Amino acid sequence: METLGAWELPEELCQLRDVTRKFMQTEVKEVEDQLPHDAFRVPKDLLDPLQAKAKTLGLWCFRTPSEYGGAGLNLLGQAVVAEESSRCRMGAYVWGCKAFGEDPPNVIFMGRPDQIEKYAKPTIDGKLRAFVAISEPSGGSDPARSIQTRAVRKGDKYILNGEKLWITDAANRDWGVLFARTGEKGDRGGISCFIIDRNMPGLSFDEIKVIRSYSPYQIHLTDVEVPAENMIGEEGQGFRVAEKWLVQQRISYAANTLGTAQAALELAIEWAKQRVTFGSRLADKQAIQWMIADSEMEIRAARLLTYQAAWNGDLGRDFKVDASIAKVTATETAGRVVDRCVQIFGGLGVSQELPLERWYRELRIKRIGEGPSEVHRMVLARTLLGGK
């Protein structure tokens, strides 16, 4: 019996990885180098040619099904390109400087054909931009219990009242997917999913300044009238839609942080080889060698956990716990790696001559976004211990 086995990326994904990496190095970097240190948008005159080049290579809207004009990648493919497209200064949150377009929230593809036509397709074409609004002041890690925004049916409309919090760039988006309660408090079956237009009366936005330049917003809903036809799926089925989006999102979120960590480590390795202090190179000092070795080992381990989660998801298995493990491991690993790289560079590491100090700030948020580490540990513990 053949007992040898091996796991490796399919050749197609290896090729996609290499093409994406080269594009980031030769095209995206050249554009980003012209921008301020904390920039999170590329001017249209620079972005349009960049996106045109990406489209010719098929590097466009990686999560979007191919029948709608996207690359239609599975979760493993999404992980691969998420890692590569984070290898730029703004890449921790603005993947590839938006060279590869912006996918609409995947929940829209669970909607009706007319909803996809009106909202998803213009977003894929780059004419519209979208947000997803789940978190609220009452909490975001357990939407089934924390959502208090209320949607009340009135004829052919729903009247929405409440607040959403920590919604990235919401005020600058054209439409969004928003989750509101149509049933009883705490009822998982009492949440519904709505499409919200940016200019609906009663909708307002407050910017929340944080340690990154790319701000989240608080959304206020005061008697916002939403047509009943803007509901995605059936009333009370929103939590199922939200959970699918959240679990899948964690795969690329984890991979994205590892790309940033890998880029930081490569910078630190090159610096250690060149920098001479106290008569020898940093690369010859055991303290530095161990920082680099630990970083490489941890990145490899986190990458394999992320790939495993993606693989299980693509096989149709329940990968909720796998996604939680990948999210915690990758984000915490990336934070440690970038911290070590800052230390290796010393004073230069916290200067704006390098992207490290920006990555350091932004990766700190990653341990909170998409569910804080503690919540994901709770998910794993409950699974292992049989708790509720």
Of 84, 298, 362, 370, which residue is the catalytic one? 370
Domain of residue 196 covers 130-232
Buried b (16+ CB within 10 A) or exposed e, 104-115: bbbbbbbbeeeb
Is 6 a domain residue? no
Is 85 a domain residue? yes
Say if residue 296 is in the same domain as residue 364.
yes
Mean pLDDT of 33-37: 97
When pLDDT is cut at 50, 70 and 90, the band that residue 112 belongs to is very high
Is 32 a domain residue? yes
Structural domains in the chain (count): 3
Is 276 a domain residue? yes
Asked whether the predicted pLDDT for residue 162 surpasses 60, the reply is yes
Is 339 a domain residue? yes
Asked whether the predicted pLDDT for residue 145 surpasses 80, the reply is no
Mean pLDDT of 253-274: 98
Say if residue 269 is in the same domain as residue 378.
yes
| Main-chain phi, psi angles of 171, to 5 degrees | -70, -15
Phi/psi-derived region of residue 173, left when phi > 0, alpha when psi is between -120 and 50, beta in every other case: beta
Asked whether the predicted pLDDT for residue 1 surpasses 60, the reply is no
**The pLDDT of residue 2:** 60
Say if residue 149 is in the same domain as residue 228.
yes
332 is known as an active-site residue: no
Is 68 a domain residue? yes
Say if residue 311 is in the same domain as residue 326.
yes
When pLDDT is cut at 50, 70 and 90, the band that residue 8 belongs to is confident
Is 225 a domain residue? yes
CA dihedral 334, 338, 344, 350 (to 10 degrees): -170
Is 15 a domain residue? yes
Mean pLDDT of the chain: 94
Task: Pick the more confident residue, 65 or 242.
Answer: 65
pLDDT > 70 in the chain, percent: 96
